[in-house]
Structure 1
């Protein structure tokens, strides 16, 4: 077991070997059944399945983190089993357990579930060697009891306004809002080539080619799909 942990630790530091979420190796590697986990206050556990669609065994190492840079200052979640060997064509259920409540109760709290998959040697577990790897980073969101949704997240409540040479977007809600689609005056906008996530009551200024007048967007729902389309005119001056 110590050898496996050592190999996984070494692999996480090898630049270029760990691929982003949903990457598949050799046309069919490791896949997950969920893209995010949302814990409502009444829930103690969530599950997801790790599937091995390849013809070789993988070592799977999972843990909860406070940030994507690998920092774990003590999250309120534990993952079981944290380390296991997944044989070719098999699957394994991961359980994420909530051991305590996050301190924030007037808004959602964000953590991450990090899952690393490293191909094992065909020789034996003890002789496992790293040749390439995958890393999946899933959002792990805790939703306090006082936050109850009737349907979708309130993505259409976002407020857009012009700010200097950019566009200010404000999230007036206590929820994390992720934008899967965002267009400014009909042109797609890529915020650092990844979906834009706005924290509860947060604000962010986006680069814009010129003054923006019309904005359309779609949020990402709890299941990882796109919410209904939202439209708004950008206010000419930055909103309070």
Structure 2
């Protein structure tokens, strides 16, 4: 039996559910007092080798390393979605579905299959990788000897399927310069209780930190190329705007600052 909650998958042992049903009906099974419920939690999640992928549309594709740090095998599935994280994007991920053994590493390859994209600015997509729990009958969930990987003393088994998404930025050859060269060009303006930033560049600006005076602005997000975005200003915020961005390598840039107009 599977229970879906917040996109996570839970499996409960039938013996525990049967005991619960009997007790709720007023019947106490003979083994009820001896039954000890032990919870075993398994998180089916892989570690990605980067926090973003910069994709050159003139190349044959991009690759990303993934690692299974768990003590059990994981079935891995990758896909690319549009900026809304819902619409399938014109990319394929290979291998599309595969088993990744415990403490092992593999590589995903992302290949564009078509689609119309701007040639003068970056386009944002999302590379999402999901770890899938096995079913009892799945052959891939067996160990090297063909023995099913089942707990022997567990009566309640909790399995969590984790979905990890990172930015896939398509950067066409028509975009000149580097992202870091354009960070200082961000323009900041106060509009009532909002702070508006305008990005005149061809790059996505992923804000890592943002503050006005000594007050941090927590709900910061990325700013798309040639667009503006507004953030709620804390009460009493005044002074210089300071910000950092996430670099192509996934690190944090130096601090930039500008007067607030």
State the TM-score, normalizing by the size of structure 1.
0.79
Which of 35, 38, 49 does residue 33 from structure 1 map onto? 49
SS at match of 1:152: helix
Counterpart Cα distance in 1 of 2:224 and 2:168: 13
Counterpart Cα distance in 2 of 1:153 and 1:201: 15
Which of 186, 204, 209 does residue 181 from structure 1 map onto? 209
- Cross-structure match for 1:145: 173
Structure 2: segments with no counterpart, 5+ residues: 10-40, 143-156
Aligned residues: 214
Which of 158, 177, 190 does residue 218 from structure 2 map onto? 190
**Equivalent residue runs for 1:1-240 within 5 Å:** 14-15=5-6, 17=8, 30-72=46-88, 75-100=89-114, 102-120=116-134, 124-125=138-139, 131-150=159-178, 152=180, 154-191=182-219, 195-209=220-234, 210-235=236-261
SS at match of 2:176: coil
State the TM-score, normalizing by the size of structure 2.
0.73
* Root-mean-square deviation (Å): 2.8
Q: Is the 8 A contact 2:55 2:169 kept in 1?
A: yes
Counterpart Cα distance in 2 of 1:218 and 1:26: 36
Give 4+ residue runs of structure 1 displaced > 6 Å after superposition.
Answer: 25-28, 126-130
- Cross-structure match for 1:22: none
SS at match of 2:75: strand
Structure 1, 119-128 or 159-168: larger mean CA deviation:
119-128
Counterpart Cα distance in 2 of 1:96 and 1:54: 24
C-alpha offsets along residues 154-209 of structure 1, whole Å, 9 cap, x if unaligned?
Answer: 22211111101111111111111000111111222111xxx510001111111012
Counterpart Cα distance in 1 of 2:57 and 2:7: 38
Counterpart Cα distance in 2 of 1:130 and 1:78: 31
Counterpart Cα distance in 1 of 2:92 and 2:7: 28
